[in-house]
Amino acid sequence: MYVGAVLGTGVIALPALAARAAGPASLLAWALLVVMSVPLAATFAALGARHPDAGGVSTYARLAFGPRAATVVGWCFYFAVPPGSAAAALFGGSYVAEAAGGGRATVLVTAALLMTVVTAANAVGLQASGRLQFALAGLLVTLLLVSVALSLPHARAGNLTPFAPHGWTAIGPAASLLVWSFAGWEAITHLAAEFRRPARDLPRATGAAVAVVGVLYLLVAFAIITVLGPRAADSAAPLGDLMARGLGGGARWLAAGAALLLTLGAMNAYYAGAAKLGSALGRDGGLPAFLGRGSVAGEVPRRSLAANSALSFLALAVVSVTGLGPRPLVLLTTGSFVAVYAIGVAAALRLLPRRSAGWYAAAAALAAVAALLLMSGRYLLWPLVVTGAALLYLRRHRRSGAGPEPGTHGPGSGFTRVKHRFPMIAGRVRRDEGGGAARAAGQAEEMRGYG
């Protein structure tokens, strides 16, 4: 799931967009993002291992800063997935159109079919989507390695000059595009409770994913720049062109297959994470309680999945009507993910034990996130709009008396059950807002078995 979430559609489209922005110097942007990924991934793995919950980053924000911060970060993630899914599906559809023809109609039909398949897979359940993801990741890694190996004999050192045709400052805009390729380290935190042993399995999965994703991204980006040369910047399907050089013109169909695998893998992981997050927000009052079913480990959050899928189809419809390409969708989505990273890393510095490995990773990740915030620029306006909408929802939620304050006494929340059955521990939860609150609630939940 991790490899599929991170090694997503970025590898099939963004090498060309980054090369257009910075030329061969875009390789430095790729390397920069790989380095930044290490502390970010380690931070979210430490948080997921210590606080496994369907809320993911939203849960960490609630434990560290309170229910309002939890709702804001939850909304930023939940409402970033629909435009991101539309962009991902369009990337996959463009490869099918390159191989089969049909132009924009083929792109849109393929995108809609991809959304339908991923929705259906997640509606069956996480075990089914996890098996699908495992198969996709294995096929994908093999296909990318074979493509790079067969194309590298056509590499030319002269394609690396001039190295920075648009100046060294162009590396920043290239990196802001590439954030899309490395978003995903936070996605699996929403599924941490589904791991058999989160404290052991999550760090192992993270370490393996960092190594696999980092090596593959650098290999593919280097091969595209050195093999395709200046044509890489103008390619609509750079991975397809790379495979055609190594395997011949018929490889475009194989490239279309690889693009579909990549798209399915990324969308599958994000649909699963967003569905669990939406159910957790519904449970805690951050979204309508109707969406709360499915937040418990092992349950399928079909209502939240249906809502997120509908929003994804709406985003695709807007793109088809307006004629917008995927680039603005990519930048809007990455702006939201950077905001999620910022809140998640800040929460880690409060929740993780000081001077632990996870805490030091969070301190290093803070510098990386600050750089990403600067690179995102005006595309941070979208998470600001989402933040305003989340706070407005909370205010109306309280005024209407629709339910208790989100994150503390919400429908089905652990606190409601604890308050009535174990008032002494409930009082302790009220007094302690940090990690002690989580421990006290956990003790109360364990005592339920003796009721």
Residue 426: give the domain boundaries.
413-451
Shared-domain flag, residues 54 and 117: yes
Shared-domain flag, residues 441 and 350: no
Q: What angle do CA 342, 439, 286 make, to 5 degrees?
A: 50
CB 171 within 8 A of CB 25: yes
Per-residue model confidence (pLDDT) at position 112:
93
Cα(239)–Cα(235) distance, integer angstroms:
9
Cα(384)–Cα(386) distance, integer angstroms:
5
Shared-domain flag, residues 157 and 239: yes
pLDDT for 6-41, tens place per residue?
Answer: 776 667 777 887 888 888 998 998 888 888 888 888
Shared-domain flag, residues 177 and 309: yes
Task: Tell me which residues of the chain have a pLDDT lower than 70.
Answer: 4-5, 8-10, 54, 125-133, 136, 180, 183-184, 187-188, 190-191, 236, 248-250, 295, 297-298, 399-451
Q: Which residue type is seen at 314?
A: L
Query: Does residue 109 lie in a domain region?
Result: yes
What are the phi and psi torsion angles at 52 (to 5°)? Answer: -70, 120
Shared-domain flag, residues 361 and 231: yes
Shared-domain flag, residues 386 and 433: no
Q: Which residue type is seen at 404?
A: P
pTM exceeds 0.85: no
Cα(199)–Cα(252) distance, integer angstroms:
42
Query: Does residue 408 lie in a domain region?
Result: no
Query: Does residue 32 lie in a domain region?
Result: yes
Cα(117)–Cα(267) distance, integer angstroms:
10
Shared-domain flag, residues 394 and 418: no
Calculate the CA dihedral of residues 253, 257, 262, 264 and round it to 10 degrees. 140
Shared-domain flag, residues 426 and 378: no
pLDDT for 379-403, tens place per residue?
Answer: 788 889 999 999 999 888 776 655 4
Shared-domain flag, residues 110 and 240: yes
Query: Does residue 305 lie in a domain region?
Result: yes
Q: Which residue type is seen at 414?
A: G
Q: Which CATH number goes with the domain that contains 362? A: 1.20.1740.10
Query: Does residue 17 lie in a domain region?
Result: yes
Number of domains composing the chain: 2
Q: What is the DSSP string of 32-75?
A: HHHHHHHHHHHHHHHHHHHS--TTTHHHHHHHHH-HHHHHHHHH
Cα(177)–Cα(331) distance, integer angstroms:
7
Shared-domain flag, residues 304 and 451: no
Per-residue model confidence (pLDDT) at position 439:
43
Per-residue model confidence (pLDDT) at position 4:
67
Shared-domain flag, residues 421 and 323: no
Query: Does residue 407 lie in a domain region?
Result: no
Shared-domain flag, residues 166 and 56: yes
